[in-house]
Structure 1
Amino acid sequence: MVKACVAGASGGIGQPLSLLLKSSSLIDELSLYDVVNTPGVAADLSHISTPATVTGYLPKDDGMKQAFTGVDIFVIPAGIPRKPGMTRDDLFKINAGIVRDLVKGVAEYAPKAFILVISNPVNSTVPIAAEVLKAAGVFDPKKLFGVTTLDVVRAETFVASIVGEKNPAKTTIPVIGGHSGETIVPLFSQANPSVSIPADKLDALVNRVQFGGDEVVKAKDGAGSATLSMAYAGFRFAEKVIKAVKGEKGIVEPSFVYLPGVSGGEHIAKITGVDFFSVPIELGASGAEQAIDVVSGANEYEKKLLEAAYTGLKGNVAKGIEFAQNPPPK
């Protein structure tokens, strides 16, 4: 039996994400939590002819306790979306508090669950989640993930359009670092099967992977951000975690994790100078079983990108930890 919970289920990412999870044969129970509309979303999804039972909760009447108790895997897209001219950093103050409060609930009602954080800025919200879990005495680095899969999905898609591959998912491209702007570093040199990117297209391709979210915000005329592609990416990663927990071997996907707490991660943390970093992670029954060092294999072009990523990440991570340890007055 697998019970999944979407925290932030009524939002632009939460609704399509909940639909995808309801469609999965791997999930037996789907619990939805948000501050508005959740019973309606749950009722709508419950009419779909797949096995998962769906329940929806609001904060009133101990809703968080009911929604979170017994959950095996949380996916957290809760927060406000990015608006035109807004950086992921601008979202920080609002979304940081939302993630902190939700993770406090996870620590209390489902301390052994896997936690997949989508809420931006991921570079800061994942360290906040780690600090909350540490304070509650239930932090397991193998079970806390920042979902960076959208960067991977974009890299696969954009490369396919250049090299003429009809199925983008056939190409594995490590995308490492963080989950905003220049902290996102696609390692095209390590694509499998290998790809040949024309030199005159490389800069633009890297920029498109790094700032793909801006492309969507602009195309939606400021009326939304990357919700559907993010929902797909969140579902893809959640499904891989569940498959690995159920015993499937050889599942690898990049994710933003606390490196010193994952096998192989200490070495990568020393190279990068950052404790929270996204690298390909081999998933298993306990969660993040092995961090795979692709950093050492970066070419000279990619090393320059990584230097910028390290600088940005250090600031983002420190900001998250500072928020968790010394929260601003309400």
Structure 2
Amino acid sequence: MGETPLSRTRGARVGLLGKTAARALRVSVATVWVASVCIMALPVAAATPTAQISAASTEQTISAASGAAAAVDREPEVANERDIPRPVQIAPGVYAMLGSGDAVAPRNHGIVANNGFVVGKRGVVVIDTGASYRYGRAMIEAIRRVTPLPIELVVITHQAPEFVFGAAAFRDAGVPILAHRRTAELIAARCSICLTNLRRTLGEEEMSGSRVTVPDRTVEATTRIDAGDRQLDLLYFGTAATPGDLAVRDAQTGVLFAGALVSVGRIPELRNESIPGWLAALDRIHALDVNEVVPGFGPVVKPDRIDSVGQYLRELDRGVHDAYGAGVGLTNARTQVQTPNFRHWKLYSVAHPQNVQRVYLQLEPH
């Protein structure tokens, strides 16, 4: 069940582990992976040559997998203002709200990812919505302090939980929500697991009112939209960090909200990625007229700083392939494959071994 009918569109050896043991470990690891990152890829569809935007004709609600109702007895509170990042103007009419970049934990209220908004002459466009309904409401209040103009649209760049669960607050305010079709499908299929895990991690009070909110508008390919009297390029490069990654570029200022494609100072968490596609997407970003990049995690940077993401991905991929080819088993590969240049990045001790594991398992015979 989703909030909307979505638009119609378009061998090597196992190593030192025995095959039986490796298969068992793969099943165990897959279970843990789904529980921790909540996202599994659906079959990848080819992009159509032209972009389409579809609007939903009906609206429904997905409750948490645990059975918690989307509605609550009392209206959820806005997250405490001292915990909410203040909007930082990085270009005329372009604001970023920067999370801590840490792992989600009660001490940071799940406010770890970046989001932002663009103010046009007629209205506001929001890019990503945070990890909870409370944060989404707080974001609305923060926008109101910047401008009295109405919020016309929310764009979700990808389906990671730190970016999507504030969307319900915007849906309740009557704001349409847009994403790539593949992202909308993954939100509908998998995000109830994410919500259950966030409730366990952050608690019922912090996640009060949060629910899975499926975008009611979708795009299939790169397209330019006029929202709030502002020209925005919704950029789709194919499967990269996720199957439905969008980057959002403000044509007036050249600011790019990169979503899952860029992480600065924090190890990117591989989920449904294509490393070759991801590297190609970074190359295509370099070819664009971009002045500033707002990554999914980390500080706002100049375009040349995104090279570090590609460097990590190449070192990771090469290290795993070398270990696999040398007959190193999965358990040993998790500790032996290192990327020393990135040891100082956040989540290295946790996310990097998981990334090694994911790339390794992709090399096993199926």
Task: Say yes or no: TM over 0.5.
Answer: no
More helix by share: 1
TM-score, with length taken from structure 1: 0.28
Question: Quick check: which has more Rg, 1 or 2?
Answer: 2
